[in-house]
Chain A
Amino acid sequence: MSHSKKATLFIKDEARVDWHDKALWFVRQKRDIQIKKIPEWENLRELASQIKANVLSNLDNYLILFEKNAIKNGVTVHWAKDAQEHNEIVLRILNDKKVKRLVKSKSMLTEECHLNAFLINNGIEVIDTDLGERIVQLRNETPSHIVLPAIHLKKEDVGETFYKYLDSEKGAKDPQYLTEVARKHLREKFLSADAALTGVNFAVAKTGGIVVCTNEGNADLGAHLAPIHIASMGIEKIIPRRSDLGVFLRMLARNAIGQAITTYSSHFLKPGPNQDMHFIIVDNGRSEQLGREDFRKSLYCIRCGACMNTCPVYRRSGGHSYSYTIPGPIGSILAPGIDMKKHASMAFASTLCGSCSDVCPVKIDIHQQLYKWRQLILRESDSSFIKKMVMKVMSLVFSYPGLYRFAGKMGRIIVEITPRFIVYNNLNPWGRKRELPRAPKQSFREWYLQNNKVDKDE
């Protein structure tokens, strides 16, 4: 189903859409307040963007350096070319140590690889420990936002979910109570887990260490309690030096949710005593995206999610109306690189207002990339065949002055004389909620010819 179809369904419950829109706009406002406290904010954006440009230009060297240093620190490093390889590596590590229960902190990469389903099919119990992710996992849903996975749900929905799966009180909606229920439930899982898997926010080439940012401390609880720590990272997570964190850690939480810094910004360098530590470095289409000049910058992304919070379309259509794991503006420039045909409608789920590009902490030209994807999609995908034909007709009309004037004049006459029920039927998407412009008696051109002494023969 296309984005527009799913969005139409989402929008049917207007009160809920308004709530969703306001909840995310509130986050955007918190972000504005925080970033405006930093006079050098725009310089930080530029710096962050340049660091990422440097990383991507030298990615091969940085990755090898990172691997070398990580191995020196006692970490086992794996390389995965795609999702399947990644999932199989995880399973192999778990099977080697006869792991039955895995706790996970938030990792959009493992969502992208559909790791949970794969492991569960192979007999492993998988527990997402980020509160929002646990909620959507219990409901058998996917995250609707990369930072706020359960933003599509109200506290009443969470109460119902916990009543159904965690034996909490019926009808509970007090956030404090619900959080305590989740906390108790998750503690048991943490204490009995055989292995922990975390994502990676930053991988420092020079030290071979990784940084994982959470507000709940769930990555730390998992990784410190379990005898095995697996960290999965995309190849673009590299930063050159630890000091670069002075740029990125200042930006990430501020831009994501209007918080000065994540509550836990945890550095993992080497395995603890009697612990195994594994880093899995995943490509899964990234090097291909790196090779696409127009879309390379999409790999700068630090997954702050601000483009979703600011996007007027995302706020009113919800994360689940996008066909890819990563929704919203950034998802819409990543997804066509994975499967252009499948995710074609995502590139069109934007007014190209550009708010995403201005809010982006690493200055990805998101709306310009959306524009560029549209060009490729219409050129190479036959699913948009009809639309393309319509456009061609429009193009023809606009290319020939005579035709255009005729069509325009006919258009105005048609609007004027046609009965309302024909103009405002369901085939005219504009007219469902809006009136068409009133048809003026004359076009400007006609007025001009009448009121100015011009040679009418042209």
Chain B
Amino acid sequence: MKVGLFVPCYVDQFYPQVAVATLQLLEKLGCEVSFPLNQTCCGQPMANAGCEKESKAAAKLFVENFKDFDYIVGAAPSCVGFVKEHYDILEQSPDVSHVRTKIYDITEFLLDILKITKIDARFPYKVGFHQSCHALRGMRMAQSSEINGASFSMQKQLLSMVEGLEFIELDRTDECCGFGGTFCVTEAAVSAKMGSDRVADHERNGAQVIIGGDVSCLMQLEGIIRRQNKNIKVVHLVEILNGITLK
């Protein structure tokens, strides 16, 4: 199984440890993984800001980089969702269709393709799970709180395989962190307030660590935590699954 590792632009630059963990985890599980060196960005930042047309070049390059893999896997539901949902801006060639159907967020890939049922990892902390909106309402990897239906969360399902990990309950289970792409700078005041409120919810309910599946949310929350000198760590889901030990 040839897997192309998709590393979103800001992960590559600011959170390389998340990409390292993704690579190591996939290799541990027997995948043949390579990282196409020419990859840049999926195009979402431009498109969400209203420049979908300008994001086409990035999208084309993305397809070019990943068209020859059996699967494309990234630890980023938001970017993966963008490729799936918004690459209709490109002409639907066989390559584009292939990339759109064979791209997976790591959580989906582990549960639906590799069908793992156990994980060799231990994380003895009280954790709050921050649900990213794009995993929730874009990729439907969990039930959103607005919907009247059975509750589920693929990401929490994975984390519950980790030994010693204990979830705390949040007052607001799936409120947005306020990152929102360029929103974080164009609406800086509201964005920071949302992030601050999200961190406070975790703190109030006794989380030692906030785990999330989208680095963009974690970047937002960590930025708040460090500025406010809070004693909460922020860790990506895939780092936990790969067996991280906190310093």
Contact = CB atoms under 8 A, between A and B. Distances in A.
Nearest to A429: B188
B115 interface: no
Interface in A414-458: 429-430, 432-440, 442-449, 452, 454, 458
B54 to A, nearest CB: 4
Nearest to A445: B12
Contact of A411 (B13, B15, B51, B55): B13
Nearest to A424: B227
A355 B49 contact: no
Interface residues of A, number: 77
Interface string B32-63: 00110111110101111111111101100100
Contacts of A395: 46, 51, 54-55, 57-58
B92 to A, nearest CB: 19
A359 interface: yes
A440 B17 contact: yes
Scoring A41, A349, A395, A447 by chain B CB atoms within 10 A of each residue's CB, the highest score goes to A395
B90 interface: no
B74 to A, nearest CB: 12
A316 B193 contact: yes
Contact of A378 (B49, B148, B183, B226): B49
Contacts of B184: 429-430
A64 to B, nearest CB: 37
A374 interface: yes
B174 to A, nearest CB: 8
Given A404-B41, A437-B15, A394 B46 contact: yes
Looking at chain B, what size class is its interface with the partner chain? Answer: 35 or more
Contacts of A435: 222-223, 226-227
Scoring A310, A317, A429, A454 by chain B CB atoms within 10 A of each residue's CB, the highest score goes to A429
Interface string A366-399: 0100010011011100001001100110110011
A355 B41 contact: no
A7 B137 contact: no
Contact of B183 (A39, A350, A392): A350
In terms of DSSP, what is the predominant structure of the interface of chain B? helix
B13 A399 contact: no
Interface stretch (A30-38, A123-131, A242-250, A262-270): A30-38
Nearest to B78: A352
A117 B188 CA distance: 35
A312 B178 contact: yes
A451 B189 CA distance: 41
A206 interface: no
Interface string A155-186: 00000000000000000000000000000000
A370 to B, nearest CB: 10
A350 B20 contact: no
Contacts of B206: none
Contacts of A352: 48, 133, 180-181, 183
B51 A392 contact: yes
A42 B224 contact: no
Interface stretch (B96-104, B155-163, B194-202): B194-202
B66 interface: no
B243 interface: no
B203 interface: no
B203 to A, nearest CB: 15
Interface string A298-312: 000000000000101
Contacts of B137: 353-355, 357-358, 367
A11 B39 CA distance: 39
Interface stretch (B106-114, B118-126, B139-147): B139-147
Contacts of A387: 49, 186
Given A358-B146, A392-B51, A316 B194 contact: yes
29 contacts: A4-B186, A7-B187, A32-B146, A39-B148, A316-B190, A316-B194, A317-B190, A351-B176, A352-B180, A355-B144, A355-B175, A371-B48, A374-B48, A375-B50, A391-B49, A395-B54, A398-B57, A399-B40, A408-B12, A429-B184, A430-B223, A433-B192, A434-B220, A435-B223, A440-B14, A440-B16, A444-B11, A445-B37, A458-B37
Going nearest first, the 5 A-B pairs with the smallest beta carbon separation are A351-B180, A434-B223, A374-B50, A429-B188, A378-B50
